[in-house]
Amino acid sequence: MLQGVGDTFGQVFRAIWANKLRSFLTMFGIAWGVGSMLLLIGVGEGFRSGQRRSLATLGNDLIMMWGGTIPAVPNQHTGMRPYNLTLADAEAIRNEAPEVRDATAFISRNDIKQQSQYESAGGQVIGAEPNYSSVRFLPLRQGRFLSAADMSGRNRVVVLGEKSAKLLFPGRPALGETVLLNGADFQVIGVADKTGRGNNDNENQKIYIPLSTMLEMFPVKGENIPADSVTSIQYQPRVRGENAEAKRQVHEIIARRHNFDPDVEDAFNEWDTIKTEEMVGKIWTAMDVFLGGVGIVTLALGAVGIINIMLVSVSERTSEIGLRKALGATRRNIMTQFFLEGLLLTGVSGLAGIAGAAGLMSALQAAMGNNMQGFDPPHMAPWSVVLALGALSMSGMAAGVYPAGKAADLDPVEALRRE
């Protein structure tokens, strides 16, 4: 006889409810496996996006270079001699390296006293070129950044970081006011917006003056160093994926200007943020693959468990199956019921695991906020949900088809005789 959809699902739920504890334990195992996989992948994605955002606060596609040391005798590590980067080096990079989009030089000092008529403050004083704000990430909240006219005129103007403005002018507007740097007057022409997250205020406590003014009043200290020495040169490749070629060109220019072999890698003191971001991405991609594989294996084991309890259920309900077949139930009716039981056990437990992981990640996001430097709260990666649903579908079909086939193949006479 033909059964309605409601009758079929009613029988499915009654069969599951008749073995509540067994069904619950099996479903809990699958839900735990799915939830754990999604949560671990979510933590990894939070770390990945946090590192990407942290690097973006420095600047996009940035390679940083500082002065280094080179051997006095080639291929030997004795008698190392230092060299300082210069403003002329930065000009050479801009003019002679076609794979470099832009480069900026600056001087950084921590020993310059900063004082307003209200308070004093500490932090780095940066002697910067006008293009600093385009190479590095430096959004402005008020006023303007340094200009070419400030650079050529050696103007005594200053741009304050967000934290420095608060320290020097507590509760007062800073724009247009005067700041003393080692007793010299500098007019505030701009205030930067807050960058970064959490309590890391190093970037926000920097202040910026023209590099030409810095070279004149507060040059790099040391003996036998060029007059236009700078702390660092930072540049961007013309194309993000061609950073290796940009670095090669820069190495050749610096090596030629400072008389050493560009193939001596130890002579260059640099940090390629592009390479760092790619390396972090590869590490967490490998972790995602591993965790995804573990999750699929967990689901497969859960599917095996469901197949086992469904086979036990078929064995326990042999007489029921025989009686229903004797009364007119078709092979399709029997197979549909047992298939739906396996699919329902797998699907409900998997969706419960997804919902549990999503709820826990939402709670963590609310508790943590966005204040941790270099780490975002865990978040559900869409691809991981698709992976979980796909694996659940396959597991559910595997858990339903085989036991359903065993039940449907039972001969009604033999089934009734066994009882």
Condensed to tens digits (0 to 9), the pLDDT of residues 318-337 reads 666 667 767 777 777 777 77
Name which residue leads in pLDDT, 399 or 228: 228
At 137, list the tokens.
């990430």
- pLDDT greater than 60 at residue 77: no
| % of the chain surpassing 90 pLDDT | 34
**pLDDT value at residue 1:** 40
**pLDDT value at residue 12:** 55
CA neighbor of 135 nearest in space, from 5, 237, 264: 237
| Confidence band, pLDDT 50/70/90 cuts, at residue 41 | confident
- pLDDT greater than 80 at residue 19: no
CA neighbor of 108 nearest in space, from 126, 123, 90: 126
Q: What angle do CA 62, 68, 71 make, to 5 degrees?
A: 140
Rounded average pLDDT over 188-193: 94
- pLDDT greater than 80 at residue 166: yes
What backbone phi and psi angles, to 5 degrees, belong to 341? Answer: -60, -50
Name which residue leads in pLDDT, 241 or 358: 358
Query: Residue written as tokens 């990430």?
Result: 137
| Confidence band, pLDDT 50/70/90 cuts, at residue 207 | very high
DSSP state of 86: B
At 413, list the tokens.
């006479």
148: left (phi over 0), alpha (psi -120 to 50) or beta: alpha
Question: What is the pTM assigned to this prediction?
Answer: 0.69
